[in-house]
Amino acid sequence: MIVSRRRCPAVFISAPASGHGKTTVTAALARYHAARGRVVQVFKSGPDFIDPMILERASGRPVYQLDLWMGGEAHCRGLLHEAAGTADLILIEGVMGLYDGTPSSADLAQLFGIPVVAVIGAEAMAQTFGAVAYGLAHYSPALPFHGALANRVAGPGHASLAKQGMPAGMRFLGGISRDEAFALPDRHLGLVQADEVADLEQRLSAAAAALDGTELADMPPGIELSAPAADASAAEPERPLAGVRIAVARDRAFSFLYPANLDLLRTLGAELVFFSPLTAAGLPPVHSVYLPGGYPELHLERLSANRGLADALRRHVAAGKPAYAECGGMLYLLESMTDLQGRRASLAGILPGHAIMHARLQSIGYHTAPLPGGRVRGHSFHHSTVATPLTPAAHTERALSDAPGEAIYRHERLVATYFHGYFPSNPRAAAQLFKP
């Protein structure tokens, strides 16, 4: 097999756990280098939608998932190889703690030889910082560990204490002080979406400025990223969605979209037409509809008042045209929803049932969904429950548990579920969802 090889500076930003500031530091690093004219390609490991929105604003480029379970090694290798051909710097933000999950961030970094930076929240420690960094670096002897950054220190003196704790031979990359000027607000599903933070640009610039004087700001080492060379004799890829127009909901209420999903639909031949359920009076002329997840619970009044779109969706489904609704998209199609404040609102009413928001997380994890065209990998993450008389056509299978999976409902050509699918895991099945 002929292999194509490319070199590019790259670094993997991880931490001992969630909450140590990975996203803030990754965004700061992306903005720091982008502001200096470098092309920065950021990836997010794990099935997160919200952090990538922040990182896209910081880098100026779409942020793709780099997930071994959802996409597989070949897919991840291809994404990295492609990025190495166009970017000056590759940044990857990990998920949860460095060794959490199967596969973990450490597994991903180790597989591709990407040097790891540990962001460690040091607000409640001093020299013990070094012990935490040492444990992360040496838990897996094969891990390509680059160094550790002390986040949220009280000042230079505190950073010096953290540095004193670092064992000989380990790199201390500096300290970043606590500063509300670049803190990122959050809510029940994670960080607040990028376009809802009015002063996000100022926060990103302030975070980038905080890197001045730290070793983290230096360009990381270049690594070699390989992938099979393109076969010139290979047949043209199939385009089962050629000529198919898909209406894709995208606004503040429905924003949980993987760029790789949209890219794949275009590669399969589809034309994507974006619309806003918050403002659109009806559907554009299309063959299929894609309603992704998001935060419909934060926009109940506007969604409830938009009867024109609800009627258009009802006519679309009644005509037997394809539609696919994930999580928040499915909730919007129900008769009503009650939010966290106890306010109840009528929704599209295309599916019978009622959704209730809860303060506590109701489901999280990787799933495989038996969709009409085949098995698709993805995940679920939601704070709501649904009461409906509908009988599920199938259930997803959890990757790491025997607990019941998410229900998959079918009505005419509508498929609705809490499950968020990663379409590159099965392009044929993705095409079947939208093919007339």
415 neighbors 372 (Cβ within 8 angstroms): yes
Handedness of CA 158, 161, 165, 170 (dihedral sign): positive
How far is residue 428's CA from residue 436's CA, in Å, rounded to a whole number? 14
How many alpha carbons fall within 13 Å on the CB side of residue 7?
Answer: 4
DSSP 256: B
63 neighbors 27 (Cβ within 8 angstroms): no
Determine the Cα angle at 255 with ends 252 and 256, to 5°: 150
422 neighbors 258 (Cβ within 8 angstroms): yes
How far is residue 48's CA from residue 191's CA, in Å, rounded to a whole number? 11
Write the Ramachandran bin of 60: left for phi over 0, alpha for psi from -120 to 50, otherwise beta: left
How far is residue 21's CA from residue 117's CA, in Å, rounded to a whole number? 12
Handedness of CA 61, 62, 67, 73 (dihedral sign): negative
Write the Ramachandran bin of 286: left for phi over 0, alpha for psi from -120 to 50, otherwise beta: beta
DSSP 412: T
- Selected catalytic residue, list 11, 200, 246, 327: 327
156 upstream amide cis, omega within 30 of 0: no
How far is residue 207's CA from residue 24's CA, in Å, rounded to a whole number? 7
30 neighbors 91 (Cβ within 8 angstroms): yes
Catalytic, 76? Answer: no
DSSP strands (E only) in 110-185: 116-121, 145-153, 172-177
Instruction: Give catalytic residue positions.
Output: 327
